[in-house]
Chain A
Amino acid sequence: MGHPEKAAKFIANNENMKWHDRALWFVRENRDLAVHGIDEWEKLREVAKKIKTHTIEKLDYYLEEFERNAKDKGIHVHWAKDAKEHNEIVLKILIDKGATKLVKSKSMLTEECHLNPYLESHGIEVIDTDLGERIVQLRDEPPSHIVLPAIHLKKEAVGKTFEKFLDTEKDNCDPTYLTRVARVHLREKFLGADASLTGVNFGIAQTGGVVVCTNEGNADLGTSLPKLHIASMGIEKIIPRLKDLSIFTRLLARSATGQPITSYTSHFHAPVEGGEMHIVIVDNGRSDIIADEDFKQSLHCIRCGACINTCPVYRRSGGHSYGYTIPGPIGSTLGASKDLRTNKTLPFACTLCASCTNVCPVQINLHNQLYKHRQSVVAQGLLGLKKHTILRVATWLMKHPSLLDFTGKMARKIVPKIPRALLYSKANVWGKRRELPKFPKNSFKELYRQQQKEKS
């Protein structure tokens, strides 16, 4: 099933879809307020783009600088070329230390690598400690959003989930009550953990340290209690200097939720006392994207989720309809870059409205990328026979103007005479929920010619 079919299912629950749309629009509105609060917003976006462009151009240089400085601080650095290597490295670190209980803060990279099931199959208990992530983990679902992983669930659904797994009171879905229960539950897990894993928002080449942004403080708790901290980082997370960080922290939280800054912006620049810190640097297809002029900008992404919140298609189709780790515009382009065949419907899950490109804090040309991916879908023959044939016929017709005029003329004559039952048959997808336009007697061209004649 591609995106359109899964989206249609999501929309079939009309009330839920509308609620989802409104919830995310609310986030977008908060973002707008925050953005209009600082005059230099557009300037910040420009500078951020420049820093990212420069860094990606010289990524090898900065990655090596990062590794050197991290090692100097006593941090172990590992390189993983793909998801498999990443998972194996993480498992080995855990086994070497005899760790069996891992607490994780949010990391889309480990979602991308499917780390949880891998570790679980090797006897490691993995607990996602971000509240939203814990909810979807209990339900055995993937996150439906990169910043708001459980945004597809209303509080009633969360209540039911907690009832089942955390023994909460029946039918109690009061958010404060549920959060308290989750807090107690997670505290136990934090205290019992012997290792923690975090994602990385920024890796600073100049200092060799990493920065993790959260709102719940779960990364801090996780990394402070156990003696082993593993940070998984995509190669594109590097920024050159410490002073570049402020540009991105100002952009990130405002774009994500409308906050001036995330509640916790945690710097990890050494292992905790008597402990160990490891950074696993992961490629997993990113180098291939860097090599592609059309799509390399997608690696500038700071995972704020603004393009997802603003996307009118995402808001009405839900994150799971994309079938890729990251949904929305950025996910559609990354997914298509990674595996066009599997994700061939994603570049079309878009009206090319360009809201994403303009909302993006690092100015990624998202909609242009999706447009480009569409061309690859066609070029690689992945479009599907029906759509391909229709477009071929349309192209042919448009290349023959007099034939096109004639077809139009016939349509204007014939269509109004077709009985409704036939006209609105199943084949008429437009007409399922919309009336066809009223056909005028004459085309614009005909009217124009007629007027010109009358004038002369």
Chain B
Amino acid sequence: MVRENYAQFLDGKDGFEHLRTHIYELVEFLHDVIKPESLNASFPYKVGIHNSCHGHRELELASMSERNLPEFSKVQKILSLVDDIEFVTLKRNDECCGFGGTFCVTNEAVSVAMGIDRVADHLSAGAEVMTGVDMSCLMHMQGIIDRDKLPIKTMHIAQILAGE
């Protein structure tokens, strides 16, 4: 967001260039800058990765299902450093969860329908935990999980990497 979309408001302003080139998303920072080879963490659960759209398609944290380019996932690569973690395969690898900022209330019905579907995909894939890089997506889906008392929970990727 800051890197891709703030230019239209802040271009040429003092410090913006510095900000734009020095801001990283967490996984991106770990993957591209720190490049850890191991993490002191274990997470013996089945995990589904929710590819949040802005990280996925704007920051290109992983290859997109729409494109015909080599496959990769920085998110999964970093998570793979955690011991005992198991990944599930989703039917729809990178569908939007429907949070969408103000969309979640201004287009409430669609937003909720999308969230329900996203959680269901993870559930039927056998995931115990859904993780991702974007807090707001997870908050939205946790809201649905809590309301429907579903046997799954969301965790931010940082929690898993930190060995919580």
Enumerate chain A interface residues (CB-CB to B < 8 A): 3-4, 7-8, 11-12, 17, 21, 25, 32, 35-36, 38-39, 41-42, 310, 312-313, 316-317, 348-355, 357-359, 371, 387, 391, 429-430, 432-437
Contact assessment for B57 and A17 in the assembled complex, using a CB-CB cutoff below 8 Å: no
Interface: B83 (CB within 8 A): no
Q: Nearest-CB distance from A182 to chain B (Å)?
A: 33
Contact partner, B53, options A12, A36, A352, A430, Cβ 8 Å? A352
Q: A36-B68, A358-B57, A359-B66 are in contact. Are A11 and B109 (CB under 8 A)?
A: yes
Contact partner, A313, options B94, B110, B117, B142, Cβ 8 Å? B110
Q: A11-B113, A353-B96 are in contact. Are A437 and B108 (CB under 8 A)?
A: no
Contact assessment for B147 and A4 in the assembled complex, using a CB-CB cutoff below 8 Å: no
Find chain B residues with CB under 8 A from A36 CB: 68
Q: Nearest-CB distance from B69 to chain A (Å)?
A: 6
Interface: B48 (CB within 8 A): no
Interface: B107 (CB within 8 A): yes
16 further interface pairs, Cβ-Cβ under 8 Å (given A8-B109, A355-B94, A434-B146) = A4-B106, A4-B107, A4-B108, A7-B109, A7-B110, A317-B110, A352-B100, A355-B64, A355-B95, A371-B5, A387-B106, A430-B143, A432-B108, A433-B108, A435-B143, A435-B146
Q: A35-B68, A42-B68, A352-B53 are in contact. Are A436 and B143 (CB under 8 A)?
A: yes
4 pairs of A and B residues whose beta carbons are closest in the complex: A351-B100, A434-B143, A353-B96, A435-B146
Residue of B nearest to A317 (CB): B110
Q: Nearest-CB distance from A279 to chain B (Å)?
A: 35
CB-contacts of B64-111 with A (<8 A): 64-69, 92, 94-96, 98-111
Q: A317-B110, A352-B53, A354-B53 are in contact. Are A430 and B66 (CB under 8 A)?
A: no
Find chain A residues with CB under 8 A from B94 CB: 355
Interface: B132 (CB within 8 A): no
Q: A11-B113, A358-B57 are in contact. Are A351 and B143 (CB under 8 A)?
A: no
29 CB < 8 A contacts A-B: A4-B106, A7-B110, A8-B110, A25-B92, A36-B68, A42-B67, A313-B107, A316-B114, A317-B110, A349-B107, A351-B96, A351-B100, A351-B103, A352-B54, A353-B96, A354-B57, A355-B66, A358-B66, A387-B102, A391-B102, A429-B108, A430-B104, A430-B108, A432-B112, A433-B108, A433-B144, A434-B112, A434-B144, A437-B139
Interface: B122 (CB within 8 A): no
Contact assessment for B147 and A433 in the assembled complex, using a CB-CB cutoff below 8 Å: yes
Q: Nearest-CB distance from A393 to chain B (Å)?
A: 13
For the complex, what is the distance from the CA of A317 to the CA of B142, rounded to whole Å? 23
Contact assessment for B96 and A430 in the assembled complex, using a CB-CB cutoff below 8 Å: no
For the complex, what is the distance from the CA of A391 to the CA of B114, rounded to whole Å? 24
Find chain B residues with CB under 8 A from A387 CB: 102, 106
Contact assessment for A434 and B140 in the assembled complex, using a CB-CB cutoff below 8 Å: yes
Number of interface residues of B (CB under 8 A): 41
Contact assessment for A21 and B107 in the assembled complex, using a CB-CB cutoff below 8 Å: no
Contact assessment for A39 and B108 in the assembled complex, using a CB-CB cutoff below 8 Å: no
Find chain B residues with CB under 8 A from A310 CB: 66
Contact partner, A434, options B57, B101, B147, Cβ 8 Å? B147
Residue of A nearest to B108 (CB): A429
Contact assessment for A17 and B105 in the assembled complex, using a CB-CB cutoff below 8 Å: no
For the complex, what is the distance from the CA of A362 to the CA of B125, rounded to whole Å? 34
What per-residue 1/0 map shows which CB atoms of B109-146 lie under 8 Å from chain A?
A: 11111110100000000000000000000011011101
For the complex, what is the distance from the CA of A11 to the CA of B66, rounded to whole Å? 26
Interface: B58 (CB within 8 A): yes
Q: Nearest-CB distance from A349 to chain B (Å)?
A: 7
Contact assessment for A4 and B109 in the assembled complex, using a CB-CB cutoff below 8 Å: yes
Residue of A nearest to B140 (CB): A434
Q: Nearest-CB distance from B6 to chain A (Å)?
A: 13
Q: Nearest-CB distance from B68 to chain A (Å)?
A: 4
Q: Nearest-CB distance from A342 to chain B (Å)?
A: 18
Contact assessment for A312 and B68 in the assembled complex, using a CB-CB cutoff below 8 Å: no
* Residue from B53, B106, B144 whose CB has the most chain A CB atoms within 10 Å: B106
Q: Nearest-CB distance from B106 to chain A (Å)?
A: 6
* Residue from A39, A42, A357, A358 whose CB has the most chain B CB atoms within 10 Å: A358
Contact partner, B96, options A38, A312, A371, Cβ 8 Å? A312
For the complex, what is the distance from the CA of A10 to the CA of B112, rounded to whole Å? 13
Q: Nearest-CB distance from B82 to chain A (Å)?
A: 22
Contact assessment for A17 and B67 in the assembled complex, using a CB-CB cutoff below 8 Å: no
Residue of B nearest to A3 (CB): B107
* Residue from A42, A355, A434 whose CB has the most chain B CB atoms within 10 Å: A434
Contact partner, A21, options B53, B115, B117, Cβ 8 Å? B117
Q: A32-B65, A355-B96 are in contact. Are A434 and B115 (CB under 8 A)?
A: yes
Contact assessment for A433 and B112 in the assembled complex, using a CB-CB cutoff below 8 Å: yes
Residue of B nearest to A371 (CB): B5
